[in-house]
Structure 1
Amino acid sequence: MIVTLIVACEIMFWVFIAAGLTARYLFRKPGVGAGLLICAPLVDVVLLVATALDLRDGGQANASHGLAAAYIGVSIAFGHSLISWADARFAYRFAGGPKPVAPPKYGTPRAVREWREFGKAALAWAVSCGLLAAAIAMVGDASRTEALSSWIRTLTVILAVWGAIALSYTVFPKREKLTVRG
């Protein structure tokens, strides 16, 4: 049930974004658009409540509960930038807005971008692990929450790898390829 709810929440997240941007740019209703865009992160509240109720009512914690915590953390950390990304492209395509700026590919600007994204990943990790720790405490039975502890370890490894990749762009910055004319 939790996996189905995660999929439904992801779909609703993008439905609210598409509806909000459509209202804002195609129907020229910025207030309605803003209201719909605000609803996008509210789907996380539905998922959080459903997951907490399932665990509180004696459900065995499994990978889907961990996935729900990870989804909520990623949504909180990356949601605003995803909405901004979609908004810029929608404005360009449908409202004569400026062409979206491509992210930097080389040198220090690329390294700075990678560290900014790592910061979002660290926030996602903190939120996700906080939710997992809260669920473990709420259940209060280590035998029922081993899957959640496993998620904390997995998310920590993912964050460490992400940090190593960001560090590699700092230590070994990617350089633009030189082209030979002639």
Structure 2
Amino acid sequence: MLLAVIAACEIGFWLVLAAGLSARYLLRRPRLGAFLLICVPLVDVVLITATVIDLRGGGTADFTHGLAAAYLGYSVAFGHGMVRWADQRFAHRFAGGPPPTPKPKYGMARARYEWREFGKAAIAWAIGCGILLAMITMVGDADRTEALYGWMGRLSVVLAIWAIWPVSHTLWPSKPKPGQEIPVEPAEPAARG
């Protein structure tokens, strides 16, 4: 059942996001759009509530409980950036906004980008492991939470693999092919209201 809730939350994330952007740009209702976009994190609240109810009801933690913790960690760490990413594209496509800024391709600009993304992954790891530890503590029964310890290892392996990109772009920065110009790193776009 929890796997279905995780899938529903992922679908719900994109539906609420699409509804917020549609209200903002297609219906020209910026307040309604802002309200709906603020509701995007409520999807995470639904997932954590379902997970806690399942464990407090005597359920034994399994793969899906760990997946829920990982999903919450990544959703919190990357959710705002995903909303901003979608907003830029929606504004460009439907409201005449500027084209989205592509990620840098070369040099230290690319290395900085990769370190920022790694920083988000580290936040996701910390949140996911924190939720796992909270579930282990809440249940208080090692036999019922054994699967959650394995998830801490999985999340740590993902973070270690993720570190390859920023380290490699720092030590061996990518360079344009001969004859190509290195694009100037654009300034951060102003936040939309």
TM bucket, shorter chain = over 0.9
Could you say which residue in structure 2 is the equivalent of 1:47?
47
Identity over aligned pairs, percent: 60
Could you say which residue in structure 2 is the equivalent of 1:178?
178
**Matched letter for residue 73 of structure 1:** G
The structure in which a higher percent of residues are helix is 1
Counting only pairs closer than 5 Å after superposition, residues 71-86 of structure 1 correspond to structure 2 as 71-86=71-86
Structure 1 stretches of 4+ with a deviation exceeding 2 A read none
Question: Does 2:93 correspond to 1:66?
Answer: no
Could you say which residue in structure 2 is the equivalent of 1:153?
153
Could you say which residue in structure 1 is the equivalent of 2:123?
123
Over residues 107-163 of structure 1, what are the superposed CA-to-partner deviations in whole Å (9 max), with x where a residue is unaligned? 100000000000000000010000000001111111211110000011011111111
Length-normalised TM-score, structure 2: 0.91
Give the stretch that moved more between structures: 85-94 or 152-161.
Answer: 152-161
Could you say which residue in structure 2 is the equivalent of 1:111?
111
Could you say which residue in structure 2 is the equivalent of 1:102?
102
Shift of 1:179: 4.7
Mapped partners of 1:143, 1:169: distance in 2: 43
Aligned residues: 180
Contiguous gaps of at least 5 residues in structure 2: 181-193
Mapped partners of 1:26, 1:137: distance in 2: 47
Shift of 1:165: 2.2
Could you say which residue in structure 1 is the equivalent of 2:4?
4
Shift of 1:41: 1.0
Q: Secondary structure at the match of 1:64?
A: helix
Shift of 1:81: 0.3
**Matched letter for residue 163 of structure 1:** A
Mapped partners of 1:21, 1:165: distance in 2: 32
Mapped partners of 1:148, 1:178: distance in 2: 50
Could you say which residue in structure 1 is the equivalent of 2:166?
166
